[in-house]
Amino acid sequence: MHCPALLVAAPASGQGKTTVVAALARLHRRLGRRVRVFKCGPDFLDPQIHAIAAGSPCENIDFRMCGEADARWRLVRAAADADLILIEGVMGLHDGEPSAAELARRLGVPMLLVLDASAMAGSFGAVAWGLKHYRADSGGGAPIEAVLANRVGSDYHAQLCRDTLPPDIAWRGALPREIDAALPERHLGLLPAAEIADLDARIERMADALATTPAAELPPAVEFAVVPAPTFEPALAGKTIAVARDPAFCFHYPANLECLEMLGARLAYFSPLNDATPPACDAIWLPGGYPELHGPRLAANRAMAATLAAHVEAGRPLLAECGGMMACFDALESGDGEAHAMFGLLPGRSRMQKRLGGLGLLAVELPEGRLQGHAFHYSLSETPQAPLLHATRADGREGEAVYRRRRLTASYMHLYFPSNPQATAAIFV
């Protein structure tokens, strides 16, 4: 299966990868092309931006959390009906296991390097060359085909950078140093797309800046090896799963929602912030998000708390992940020290702090089966509830606790459902 494709990477986080990928997606979409965007790593926020820019869901690929076979069949599926595939890397292009550079090599996808040029000119080409050829003698180089300069101060500045490039790295244009186009952030990364009021205008400005550059040209086609799609037993046929979705609970992998539907479930969305009760359902999923930013509203929704408690007491399944688990405790203490009553499904409380409370890829051996996932949180939780078990970190150390009360399963761990669809189904049955 052939489709033009690029993996967009940078020397480090904060160089503008997400902005550039969103701008490229919108630019090519405006040119009438069907664009599919993927994000390396277990990220919830960047994919929301890319879905707006491209007009299609942005899926995650990660050889450790998702698995190589999962990544390959999703890419092949996208290549079947897309005119362009864009993949945003994670961290710096040589960071992680596997790094964005290794992913690009193994997938056979050329790389576009985004390089923050705001504090350099003559060194621009040297940095690009070094990143491409780093460890190349041992097979570890990066397949960088082209570079795009970000945050240039003028056309002359851009030309100075372009003139330093070696012959084996092509120029794809530049984006201006435009502060009001930068995407806003907070403690977990970028703001959710729904909270950036002028997001579309920001993306349009960046697309305009690239419209007359070589970035508007399609990259060469990449051959993606055909990988069969996974098969799903309809273990959730006839079941309705109520999925929380609002500003407090907004961390959903598109692949997780699709997995539940492929297992036969009907998904019914609700808002714990705005609704008195979930819809009629067999099971409930409270995903992660930002309950700490909505403490007063969650505390005021006693009807929701009572309904969720009745659901759990009746022995029906409820999965609560990270922010979802925080909302299940008796109380949640915000960063300013103010405590708010939560749903009271588990004893104890969560407390926000300024430093990370947990970060990294995880695997967990639940009674239902083994699942992959990750954690990323700035809170700590205290509870007398004994853990059912603990997840395991990538290096083998003990990871996040998993709590179970009746059919309530709660943890800081975000599960990647396609890593074991059968185990996922068993959690919700």
Number of H-type helices and E-type strands within the chain? 12, 24
Which contiguous run of DSSP H or E holds residue 122? none
State percent of the chain over pLDDT 70.
Answer: 97
User: Rg of the chain over CA atoms, in angstroms?
Assistant: 22
Kindly give the pairing relationship between strand 35-40 and strand 318-321: unpaired
User: Widest CA span of the chain, in angstroms?
Assistant: 69
What's the CATH code, domain 2-223?
3.40.50.300
Residue ranges of domains in the chain: 2-223, 240-428
Residues 6+ apart with CB under 8 A from 137: none
Q: Nearest-CA neighbor of 162 among 206, 115, 130?
A: 115
Q: Do the domains spanning 2-223 and 240-428 agree at the CATH topology level?
A: yes
Q: What is the pLDDT of residues 93-130, one digit of tens each?
A: 999 888 999 999 999 999 999 999 999 999 999 999 99
Q: What is the pLDDT of residues 125-154, one digit of tens each?
A: 999 999 999 988 877 789 999 999 999 999
Beta bridge partners of 176: 152
Spatial distance between the Cα atoms of 209 and 199, rounded to a whole number of angstroms: 16
**427: exposed, middle or buried (Cβ count in 10 Å: 0-12, 13-18, 19+):** buried
Q: What is the pLDDT of residues 152-202, one digit of tens each?
A: 999 999 999 999 999 999 999 999 887 555 666 655 556 677 777 788 888
- CB atoms under 10 Å from CB of 172, counted, come to 24
Peptide bond into 98 cis (omega under 30): yes
| pTM of the predicted protein model | 0.93
Spatial distance between the Cα atoms of 139 and 41, rounded to a whole number of angstroms: 23
Q: What is the pLDDT of residues 283-336, one digit of tens each?
A: 999 999 999 999 999 999 999 999 999 999 999 999 999 999 999 999 999 878
Q: Nearest-CA neighbor of 11 among 102, 95, 84?
A: 95
What SS3 state is found at 334? coil
Domain 240-428 classification at class level: alpha beta
**322 catalytic, yes or no?**
yes
Which of 161, 281, 322, 328 is catalytic? The answer is 322
**Residue 402: band (very low, low, confident or very high) from pLDDT cuts 50, 70, 90:** very high
Residues 6+ apart with CB under 8 A from 173: 148, 149, 158, 210, 213, 214, 215
Q: Rounded to the nearest 5 degrees, what angle is found at the Cα of 417, between the Cα atoms of 345 and 378? A: 55
